[in-house]
Each structure stands twice: as structure tokens, then as C-alpha cells.
């Protein structure tokens, strides 16, 4: 397949690409504003909206009583009121809605709202939630073998605690939705959502109308990363309510700070682990307890927690495995999907354990990793029963160790560290194995509607949404290739619920896999119909030797009988004939992923269609006196099967990795003791800038590895590369560890901000200095003493 640039590339660079805030609307348009709770936990005693309603230009001020349908926008579990009723459970929870002619008038009206709260005690930390036993739902477990017994019999064990931080999506386009009233109950919704069908369903719910009255359209999103999988629905429900109340177009667009304060983040976790291993570093037992901060409502927290459990092995075979995972409820905005969907947290636990094993044994962590990789023939079944097929780990490892010159650089890093007191370098390699499929099995379906017009142009509709990942570009290529026509004959339409109904979210990296197959399915139907007609047409011309249906091929803009190549017609010339012959040129397509089954109760089965693999070597330098780090070099080798579009896939790998670097280093989320988000704007919340990428950044796609399980032998790419950044995180730890000559286990957390780095170094220095240096030195490393120190 030829690989065109992003289908919207030219529109992006000229500013012509239309985002929701750019859609021309008539002068009737009203600005919508959400008034939210300033308290993490409180009872609403009373409120008075009368003065606010009187503000010039204000057309509606709504409270929960004004909702005509269900006051609910929880995507799975119905525990998220659209507007608070008698209690607020986080800062940022919507309480009232305002529609006015300008944003200023909205703000003016907001000041005139009177509301009395009675403050209740909030739960703002995981520790507090655990102490109060504030579970979101029943704990989940996953077992293989007997981890408890195996730990007892292991020659060595290490116990530890790991915290990983929350992460803000920081899509450039904040949450936004424009609703335009139609006739009667109809409403047209332009929403920045990854899940138009759910947006449609929730709007129908809050308005109390049928889904057939609600049309949701998504041309493109200005970034999403999971943050608009469920929470794009919120702005949509709010603007729909205001639109319905005023019968005028209403746009709700969150200001950046409001977006950061109101929306959920990547789940922070508090994990406890214990790993058992032998003198060679072979892992024998892994016991993990995961505590995840769900925030104030369910959202997707259980599915996310499940994926954490499914990735605590990362790439390592551990015969005895036990995981206990719990989601806890706190008074923070409900945490939600974010690229990796719980996987990053799981892998961080695995990689931390392996890293510690290596330091304990004074071996290179690369060696320990390699030793414990899932095997090809044996040792290849995960802790949840799925066999790791088409394992690319050894291929990746061998190629990357060589191309990154790991061994030589490892030596140089050691030499550098021996010679420098105030700067230390660190080097680490980490692998990624990421399961592709929704673990909520039924979501693995997709639909498409393909129309061919009489002039031979083709309009493709599918259920996936474009958020920058290049899905439409890939679908465009797939459709053109399947029809054997040039790219300019095909257009991919904006995603629209009236074209393709009942779709799954564009998530789980599965957009191209699922929708590509559905589009292919529709095209196969059309090609079959067209071929049937072509057999007739060719028969009319050659009554003696009929063409065979199976021999009709679509190639280079022609329809050809491959047995009689002289029988051919231009695709565009054939279509008017189809119309004359009453052939339907519109077909739907459908696809569901085969061969997956998952028993949630037993945590056992084959939840994934296949795995995506990748590997990364990072080298960093830290300033021992300030804690600041520099990313010197990163080498990535990533497996995307036979790439549908290498430029787009490279972009996903690089961008995903850098987003992961943000999660692992500078992106720190802090709340105060009242539950106020302190890092609520880009002033204090720092995503990577151009200067934070590796000084030397080498990215390659693994070649010659077709994937038998997906469209055109490709592989999903969106999420897995994010976790490559764990190598950067552990390279930083390696550099810190060099301060104590790798003799002591450094304190460490994720993200490794300059604060974490510097204080960890201070702690090492103090332990090196301390009078009972010996004891301190041994404590975290010695097997038996470490048992009591959790």
C-alpha cells in the first residue's frame, strides 16, 4: 500500500481543519457554562437562582430539577448525576448550568447564584480511603500457582511499595460540545467524543427522548488520549440540556483550568509487591496488591483496574502469581481512561520488581529481564491463562541491544559515574507486551456503511473517531486498496451516529483493527454485488464463455476479469451501469473479533486477540545537586506488524513514548488538603516540551513481522508505546543508584520529578553517612530483614 500523509495534514497546517469551536453557527448561538462545586464533599442545603436568571443576556439557569429525563451520565454504572442533587462529592462536580449570549454574561450570572453548602469530611488520599474501607466495589483477584508458598520457598524475596501518580490528558482542545436544535425533539450534536454512540445514549437519557432523535457527529478531536472516552459525554449532556431548555444552539467549552479541575485523570495507584527469585535472578513468585484511586464515581475504573492486573507480568513468566486489586472511592473527580488504560501502572510494578532483583543480585537488569521473558515454546502462558503467541521479545531484544550499543554504553556510563561526583548517568532497557482487544469482550465489534456513487466516488462511514491517531487515514487507505481505486476516489466521512449505529468507543488501540475490518466487510459485500453484475455485463458481450464471479478483480481503478484480462471496465464507468441494473451501491459492514473469551469471575481465558511488543533503551544524566535530569538518548524498536502507514505509526510510537516520559518525569498532579487541584493549569502542570525529548532520538519499526490476527497483517499501535517510557524512568533510578555505587536501593516513585530525584539522592547520602551505615546499607536489600519492612 502506498502511504499518504495524514488525511487532514494540509488542513491542519493551513488552519482550515474545522474543530467544534470553529463550526459556523448563526447568531442565535449561546455560550454554555457549568457551575461546579468548590467543595470536595458537601451537602447542598439550599440554593437560589433567581438573581442569576435576571442577568442581561442570560437565557437559562438550570439545576437538577430542570432535567427532563434521567439525571445520569455514568457510562457503565449509573453513579454520576449530570447535575448534583443534594450532595456534591468532588470539586468540579457540575451543579448548575447557565446559557447566555456571551461567556462574560455567564460569568456574571454565576456570581449571582446563591448556594449554601454544609461541609462533610472528604476522603482525599488512598490511605484514607483504605482506612475507611471506602471500596468502590468488590476486590478482584487473579491467581496462578501458589505465590504464598513459592515466596516462602524462594531463596530470596524482596518486598516493596510503589506509587504511581495521576496524569492529566492535556489534549490541546478542551472538552467541548455544540448542540443545535432540530424540529420537534430532534437535536444535532457536534461533540468532541471518542464514543459518539454513548454520547447519543446519554443525551437521549437526560432529555428523555429516543436515540433516533439524537444525532451525534464527530469530525475530529483536538486530541483525546482516553480523556474523551467517557468524559466527553459530560460537556455533551450539559450543552444538550441547555439547548433543549433554550431551543437555541448552545456550545459548552471548558476553559483550560476548569477542564483540568473537573475531569478525571489517569488513576494513581499504591501498590505493594513481593517477589521471590533465585541466585540467578529467575523469578519464581510474584505477589501484588494494587490499590487504585477511582475518584468519586465508577466511570471505567474496573475495566482499567482489570487491565492493570493483566499487565503486572509485563513480559515476564512467573510461575506463581497472585494479584489482589481494589479500586477505592475518594472525593476527587472520577478518574478515567488514559492511553494504556491501567497497563502502565501494571508494567511499572513489574519493572520495579525486576529492577530491584537486579540491584540485589548486582547484575545488569537487562540480563534479568532477558532471562525472565516469556518463552517461545514453554514458559509462555500468562498468569491469566493466555498463551503468548508470536512472541517478538527475543527478536526485539537482540536487535535493540545491538543497535543501541547497550553493552558499550553501559561500560561508558559506569566510567562516567566513577569519574564524576555531581553528575551521574543511568541506562535502562525495558520491554512492553500489550494486549490488544477490549477486555470487556462484547465491545470488540464495529460497523461501517459504505456508499458508492454513480460517478465512482466512494464515501466511507465507520464507527471510529479521529483524534489525531490517523484512523481515518488508515481507513482511507484500506478502502482504496480493497476497492482497487486511487485514494482520491475515496472519502472518509465524519463519524455520525445516524450512519453507523451502536458503535464501541474508539479506544483500546483497536480503532483500525475493528473498523478497518468492518469497512472491508462492507466493501466485500459491494464487490460481490458488483461482480455479479459484471459477470452479467461480460456475458452480454461474450455469450459463449461466461466470466466467473470469483475471477472479477478490482485493481488500479479497473474492474477486470482476471481470466480474460481484455474484459475490463473502469470502476467509474461501471458504476452508472450498476445503477441502471438496479444494483444497490450501499452496504453496511460488521466485524467482531473472533477467538477471544474472558471469564471475569475466574480472571482466566484469552482476553486478547494478540499482543503488541516494543522495547526501549534510555540513557539519562542527572544533576546530583539539583535533581534535574536530561534525556541523552533513546532507542526504540517497536512492533506494528506490517505497518499500514509507517509515518503514522512512527508518529504514534514517538508521541506515545514522549507522553509516557511526561507521566514518568515532570507531570505531577497535586491536590491540597481540601481537595483543590493545585496543578490546574499549564503554569504548574508540565507536559513535555520540545526540549524534553531525547537529545538523540532513534525510533525504528520492527521489520518482517506480519501479524496474522488483524487487518492487512498490521498491528494496533496507539497505546503500547507509552509504556516504553518506563526505561527512561528506570534509567533515572539507575543514575540515582550510582550515587551510592549501586550498593543501596534508592527510594523512588513515579513521576520522578526533580524533587523525587533530589530527595532520593539526599536519602542515599544520609544512609551512606549514617553511623549504623551497615545496617542501613543492608536493610532494603537483604531478603529476610526486608520482610518486615513494607
Partner 1 sequence: MIPEISFVLDGSIVTIDFTKPSSRGPTTTVLNYLRSLPGHKGVKEGCAEGDCGACTVVLGELVGNKSIRYKSADSCLLFLPMIHGRQLITVENLKDPSGELHPVQSAMVESSGSQCGFCTPGIVMSLFSLYKSTDHPTRLQIDDALTGNLCRCTGYKPIIEAAAHACVHKGLDHLSRDYSRIVGLLKSIPQAPIHIKTKLQSYFKPTSLSAVFSHRRQHPDAVIVSGATDVALRVTKKHELIPEIIDLSDIAELKAITNTATTLTIGAGVTLTEAMPRIEHDFPALYKMLSVFGSQQIRNLATFGGNLGSASPIGDALPVLMAYGAKVVLKRPNGKRDVSLDDYFLGYRKTARAANELITAIVIPKLKNGAAVRSYKISKRKDLDISTLSGGFRLDAKNSGTVKNIVLAYGGMAERTKRATTAEQFLVGKQWNRQTVERAMPLIDKDFTPISDARAGAEFRKVAARNLLLKFWTDTVMNE
Please check whether residue 574 is in contact with residue 418, taking contact to mean a CB–CB distance below 8 angstroms: no
* Among residues 45, 56, 149, 172, the one that binds partner 1 under rule CB under 8 A: 172
The residue (of 319 and 655) whose beta carbon lies closer to partner 1 is: 655
629-638 vs 696-701, strand pairing mode: parallel
DSSP lists the bridge partners of residue 12 as none
Give the torsion sign (CA, 119, 125, 131, 137).
positive
Q: In the bound complex, what is the minimum distance in angstroms from residue 105's beta carbon to ligand FES?
A: 22
224-243 binders of partner 1 (CB under 8 A): 224-225
Is 627 a binder of partner 1 (CB under 8 A)?
A: yes
DSSP lists the bridge partners of residue 636 as 616, 699
Site string for partner 1, 84-113 (x = CB under 8 A): --------------------x--x------
> The C-alpha cell of 502 is what?
451502536
Closest CA to 259 of 230, 236, 237, 227: 227
Is 11 a binder of partner 1 (CB under 8 A)?
A: yes
Q: In the bound complex, what is the minimum distance in angstroms from residue 644's beta carbon to partner 1?
A: 14
Give the C-alpha separation, 242 to 100, whole Å: 10
The piece of 91-99, 172-180, 454-462, 526-534 that touches partner 1 (CB under 8 A) is 172-180
> Which of ligand FES, partner 1, none does 599 bind, CB closer than 5 to 8 A by kind?
none
* Among residues 699, 717, 724, 726, the one that binds partner 1 under rule CB under 8 A: 699
The piece of 32-40, 397-405, 598-606, 647-655 that touches partner 1 (CB under 8 A) is 647-655
274-313 binders of partner 1 (CB under 8 A): none
Closest CA to 351 of 226, 164, 167: 164
Please check whether residue 667 is in contact with residue 751, taking contact to mean a CB–CB distance below 8 angstroms: yes
Is 257 a binder of partner 1 (CB under 8 A)?
A: yes
526-565 binders of partner 1 (CB under 8 A): none
Q: In the bound complex, what is the minimum distance in angstroms from residue 569's beta carbon to ligand FES?
A: 42
Q: What is the largest CA-CA distance in the chain?
A: 102
Residue 87 annotated to the active site: no
> Which of partner 1, ligand FES, none does 666 bind, CB closer than 5 to 8 A by kind?
partner 1
Give the torsion sign (CA, 610, 701, 723, 506).
negative
* Among residues 651, 674, 700, 779, the one that binds partner 1 under rule CB under 8 A: 651
Site string for partner 1, 395-424 (x = CB under 8 A): ---------------------------x--
Q: How many chain residues bind partner 1 (CB under 8 A)?
A: 79
Is 38 a binder of partner 1 (CB under 8 A)?
A: no
201-220 binders of partner 1 (CB under 8 A): 220
The residue (of 377 and 683) whose beta carbon lies closer to ligand FES is: 683
Give the C-alpha separation, 396 to 364, whole Å: 18
The residue (of 639 and 649) whose beta carbon lies closer to ligand FES is: 649
The residue (of 322 and 665) whose beta carbon lies closer to partner 1 is: 665
Q: In the bound complex, what is the minimum distance in angstroms from residue 304's beta carbon to ligand FES?
A: 23
The residue (of 468 and 688) whose beta carbon lies closer to ligand FES is: 468
Q: In the bound complex, what is the minimum distance in angstroms from residue 228's beta carbon to partner 1?
A: 11
The residue (of 103 and 213) whose beta carbon lies closer to partner 1 is: 103
Collapse the DSSP code of 560 into the 3-class scheme (helix H, G, I; strand E, B; otherwise coil) and give the result: strand
Q: In the bound complex, what is the minimum distance in angstroms from residue 224's beta carbon to ligand FES?
A: 10
Q: In the bound complex, what is the minimum distance in angstroms from residue 326's beta carbon to ligand FES?
A: 35
* Among residues 256, 363, 529, 564, the one that binds partner 1 under rule CB under 8 A: 256
655-694 binders of partner 1 (CB under 8 A): 655-659, 666, 668, 670, 678-679, 681-684, 686-693
The residue (of 333 and 656) whose beta carbon lies closer to partner 1 is: 656
CA distances from 682 to 34, 171, 172, 702 (A): 21, 12, 11, 36
Helix (H) or strand (E) segment spanning residue 534: helix 511-541
* Among residues 625, 706, 741, 789, the one that binds partner 1 under rule CB under 8 A: 625
The residue (of 232 and 468) whose beta carbon lies closer to ligand FES is: 468
Please check whether residue 5 is in contact with residue 716, taking contact to mean a CB–CB distance below 8 angstroms: no
Q: In the bound complex, what is the minimum distance in angstroms from residue 697's beta carbon to partner 1?
A: 6
Collapse the DSSP code of 611 into the 3-class scheme (helix H, G, I; strand E, B; otherwise coil) and give the result: strand
> Which of partner 1, ligand FES, none does 117 bind, CB closer than 5 to 8 A by kind?
none
269-277 vs 283-295, strand pairing mode: antiparallel
CA distances from 316 to 67, 521, 535, 555, 568 (A): 51, 37, 55, 45, 55
> Which of partner 1, ligand FES, none does 159 bind, CB closer than 5 to 8 A by kind?
none
Burial 290-320 (b: 16+ CB within 10 A, else e): bbbbbbbbbbbbbbbbbbbbbbbbbbbbbbb
Helix (H) or strand (E) segment spanning residue 343: helix 343-361
The residue (of 580 and 678) whose beta carbon lies closer to partner 1 is: 678
> Which of partner 1, ligand FES, none does 131 bind, CB closer than 5 to 8 A by kind?
none
Give the C-alpha separation, 164 to 179, whole Å: 38
552-555 vs 495-496, strand pairing mode: unpaired
SS (H, E, C) 720-777: HHHHHHHHHHHHHHHHHHHHCCCCCCCCCCECCCHHHHHHHHHHHHHHHHCCCHHHHH
Please check whether residue 539 is in contact with residue 558, taking contact to mean a CB–CB distance below 8 angstroms: no
The residue (of 111 and 362) whose beta carbon lies closer to partner 1 is: 111
Q: In the complex, which residues of this chain contact ligand FES (CB under 6 A)?
A: 172, 223, 468
Please check whether residue 636 is in contact with residue 653, taking contact to mean a CB–CB distance below 8 angstroms: yes
> Which of ligand FES, partner 1, none does 227 bind, CB closer than 5 to 8 A by kind?
none
* Among residues 50, 153, 628, 770, the one that binds partner 1 under rule CB under 8 A: 628
458-462 vs 490-492, strand pairing mode: parallel
Is 354 a binder of partner 1 (CB under 8 A)?
A: no
Rg of the chain (C-alpha set): 28
Q: In the bound complex, what is the minimum distance in angstroms from residue 641's beta carbon to partner 1?
A: 19
> Which of ligand FES, partner 1, none does 19 bind, CB closer than 5 to 8 A by kind?
partner 1
> Which of partner 1, ligand FES, none does 10 bind, CB closer than 5 to 8 A by kind?
partner 1
Q: In the bound complex, what is the minimum distance in angstroms from residue 519's beta carbon to ligand FES?
A: 24
> Which of partner 1, ligand FES, none does 687 bind, CB closer than 5 to 8 A by kind?
partner 1
CA distances from 23 to 188, 235, 237, 685, 783 (A): 13, 16, 19, 30, 63
Please state the separation of Cα 501 from the chain's center in Å. 23
Q: What is the dihedral of CA 466, 470, 471, 472, to 10 degrees?
A: 80
Closest CA to 661 of 689, 702, 626, 699: 689
Q: In the bound complex, what is the minimum distance in angstroms from residue 565's beta carbon to ligand FES?
A: 45
Catalytic, out of 80, 168, 466, 719: 719
* Among residues 542, 551, 588, 754, the one that binds partner 1 under rule CB under 8 A: 754
Give the C-alpha separation, 319 to 374, whole Å: 11
Closest CA to 349 of 616, 613, 164: 164
The piece of 39-47, 462-470, 488-496, 606-614 that touches partner 1 (CB under 8 A) is 462-470
> Which of ligand FES, partner 1, none does 742 bind, CB closer than 5 to 8 A by kind?
none
Q: Where are the beta strands (DSSP E) in 93-195?
A: 94-100, 114-119, 140-144, 156-164, 176-181, 187-191
Give the C-alpha separation, 567 to 582, whole Å: 22
Q: In the bound complex, what is the minimum distance in angstroms from residue 491's beta carbon to partner 1?
A: 18
The residues carrying an active-site annotation are: 719
Amino acid at each position: 500500500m502506498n502511504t499518504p500523509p495524514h488525511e487532514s495534514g494540509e488542513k491542519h497546517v493551513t488552519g482550515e481543519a474545522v474543530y467544534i469551536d470553529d463550526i459556523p453557527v448563526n447568531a442565535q448561538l449561546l455560550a454554555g457554562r457549568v457551575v461546579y462545586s468548590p467543595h470536595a464533599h458537601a451537602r447542598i442545603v439550599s440554593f437560589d437562582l433567581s438573581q442569576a436568571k435576571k442577568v442581561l443576556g442570560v437565557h437559562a439557569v438550570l439545576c437538577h430539577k430542570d432535567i427532563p429525563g434521567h439525571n445520569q451520565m455514568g457510562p457503565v454504572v449509573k453513579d454520576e448525576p449530570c447535575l448534583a442533587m443534594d450532595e456534591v462529592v468532588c470539586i468540579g462536580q457540575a451543579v448548575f448550568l447557565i446559557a447566555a449570549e456571551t461567556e462574560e454574561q455567564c460569568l456574571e450570572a454565576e456570581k449571582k447564584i446563591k448556594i449554601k453548602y454544609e461541609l462533610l469530611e472528604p476522603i482525599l488520599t488512598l490511605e484514607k480511603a483504605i482506612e475507611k474501607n471506602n471500596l468502590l466495589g468488590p476486590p478482584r483477584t487473579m491467581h496462578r500457582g501458589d505465590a504464598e508458598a513459592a515466596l516462602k520457598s524462594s531463596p530470596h524475596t524482596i518486598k516493596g511499595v510503589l506509587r504511581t501518580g495521576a496524569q492529566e490528558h492535556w489534549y490541546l482542545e478542551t472538552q467541548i460540545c455544540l448542540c443545535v436544535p432540530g424540529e420537534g425533539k430532534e437535536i444535532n450534536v457536534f461533540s468532541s467524543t471518542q464514543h459518539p454512540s454513548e454520547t447519543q445514549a446519554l443525551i437521549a437519557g437526560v432529555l428523555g427522548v429516543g436515540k433516533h432523535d439524537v444525532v451525534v457527529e464527530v469530525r475530529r478531536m483536538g486530541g483525546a488520549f482516553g480523556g474523551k472516552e467517557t468524559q466527553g459525554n459530560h460537556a455533551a449532556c450539559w450543552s444538550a440540556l441547555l439547548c433543549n431548555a433554550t431551543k437555541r444552539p448552545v456550545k459548552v467549552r471548558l476553559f483550560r483550568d476548569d477542564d483540568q479541575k473537573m475531569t478525571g485523570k489517569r488513576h494513581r495507584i499504591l501498590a505493594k509487591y513481593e517477589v521471590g527469585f533465585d541466585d540467578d535472578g529467575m523469578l519464581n513468585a510474584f505477589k501484588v496488591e494494587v490499590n487504585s484511586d477511582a475518584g468519586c464515581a465508577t466511570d471505567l475504573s474496573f475495566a482499567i483496574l482489570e487491565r492493570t492486573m493483566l499487565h503486572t507480568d509485563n513480559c515476564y513468566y512467573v510461575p506463581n502469581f497472585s494479584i489482589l486489586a481494589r479500586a477505592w472511592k475518594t472525593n476527587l473527580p472520577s478518574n478515567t481512561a488514559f492511553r494504556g488504560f491501567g497497563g502502565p501502572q501494571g508494567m511499572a510494578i513489574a519493572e520495579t520488581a525486576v529492577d530491584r532483583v537486579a540491584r540485589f543480585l548486582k547484575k545488569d537488569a537487562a540480563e534479568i529481564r532477558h532471562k525472565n521473558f516469556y518463552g517461545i515454546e514453554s514458559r509462555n502462558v500468562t498468569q491469566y491463562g493466555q498463551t503468548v503467541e508470536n512472541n517478538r521479545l527475543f527478536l526485539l531484544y537482540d536487535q535493540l541491544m545491538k543497535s543501541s550499543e547497550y553493552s558499550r554504553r553501559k561500560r561508558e556510563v559506569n566510567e562516567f559515574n566513577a569519574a564524576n561526583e555531581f553528575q551521574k548517568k543511568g541506562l535502562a532497557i525495558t520491554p512492553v507486551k500489550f494486549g490488544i482487544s477490549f477486555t470487556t469482550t462484547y465491545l470488540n465489534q464495529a460497523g461501517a456503511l459504505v456508499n458508492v456513487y454513480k460517478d465512482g466516488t466512494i464515501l466511507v462511514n465507520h464507527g471510529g473517531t479521529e483524534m489525531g491517531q490517523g484512523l481515518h487515514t488508515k481507513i482511507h487507505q484500506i478502502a482504496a486498496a480493497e476497492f482497487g481505486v486511487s485514494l482520491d476516489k475515496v472519502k472518509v466521512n465524519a463519524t455520525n451516529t445516524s450512519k453507523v449505529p451502536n458503535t464501541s468507543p474508539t479506544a483500546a488501540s483497536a480503532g483500525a483493527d475493528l473498523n478497518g475490518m468492518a469497512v472491508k466487510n462492507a466493501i466485500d459485500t459491494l464487490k460481490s454485488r458488483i461482480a455479479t453484475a459484471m459477470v452479467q455485463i461480460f456475458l452480454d458481450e461474450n455469450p459463449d464463455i461466461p466470466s466467473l464471479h470469483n475471477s472479477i478483480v478490482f485493481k488500479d481503478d479497473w474492474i477486470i476479469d482476471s481470466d480474460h484480462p481484455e474484459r475490463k471496465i473502469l470502476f467509474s464507468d461501471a458504476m452508472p451501469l450498476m445503477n441502471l441494473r438496479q444494483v444497490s451501491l450501499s452496504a453496511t459492514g460488521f466485524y467482531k473479533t473472533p477467538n477471544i473469551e474472558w471469564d471475569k469471575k475466574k480472571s482466566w481465558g484469552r482476553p486478547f486477540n494478540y499482543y503488541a511488543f516494543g522495547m526501549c533503551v534510555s540513557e539519562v544524566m542527572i544533576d546530583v545537586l539539583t535533581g534535574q535530569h536530561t534525556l541523552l538518548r533513546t532507542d526504540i524498536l517497536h512492533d506494528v506488524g506490517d505497518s499500514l502507514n509507517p509515518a503514522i505509526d512512527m508518529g504514534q510510537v514517538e508521541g506515545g513514548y514522549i507522553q509516557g516520559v511526561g507521566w514518568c518525569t515532570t507531570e505531577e498532579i497535586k491536590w491540597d488538603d481540601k481537595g483543590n487541584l493545585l496543578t490546574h493549569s499549564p503554569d504548574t502542570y508540565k507536559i513535555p516540551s520540545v526540549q524534553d525529548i531525547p537529545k538523540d532520538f532513534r525510533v525504528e519499526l520492527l521489520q518482517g513481522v506480519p501479524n496474522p490476527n488483524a487487518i492487512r497483517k498490521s498491528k494496533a499501535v496507539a497505546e503500547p508505546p507509552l509504556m516504553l517510557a518506563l526505561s527512561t524512568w528506570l534509567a533515572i533510578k539507575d543514575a540515582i543508584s550510582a550515587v551510592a555505587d549501586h550498593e543501596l536501593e534508592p527510594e523512588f516513585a513515579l513521576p520522578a520529578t526533580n524533587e523525587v530525584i533530589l530527595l532520593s539522592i539526599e536519602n542515599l547520602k544520609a544512609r551512606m553517612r549514617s553511623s549504623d551505615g551497615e545496617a542501613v546499607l543492608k536493610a532494603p536489600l537483604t531478603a529476610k530483614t526486608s520482610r518486615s519492612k513494607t
